[in-house]
Amino acid sequence: MDENLNSNEYLEMANHAKELVEAAERKVNSLKIENIDLKKELLGIYGSIRMLDNMIDGSCPEEIVLFSEIIRGYLSNIITCYII
């Protein structure tokens, strides 16, 4: 009788461990999808800033031009380090 109880305990522990692993896998897959979505958003923002930077002409205040260049450089570093 003790052997059956031990076998049942092992089976319950194995099932619990399986549930924990499956939950962790679901979380990892969810984070991977979120990571891809965030990368897409960053690339879209970077593209928009590049377009804005190219559209800015000499009629804009120097502060706006400088700010655009700083944002573009910052996003370029992020793209290079974390996306490419």
- pLDDT bracket for residue 34 (50, 70, 90): very high
* Number of domains into which the chain is organized: 1
Mean pLDDT of 71-75: 92
What would the mean pLDDT of 60-68 be, rounded to a whole number? 87
Which residues in 58-74 are b (16+ Cβ under 10 Å) and which e?
A: eeeeeeeeeebeeebee
Asked whether the CA dihedral 21, 22, 24, 25 is positive or negative, the reply is positive
Q: Judge if pTM exceeds 0.75.
A: no
Mean pLDDT of 36-41: 93
Confidence of residue 29 (pLDDT cuts 50, 70, 90): very high
Owning domain of residue 32: 2-83
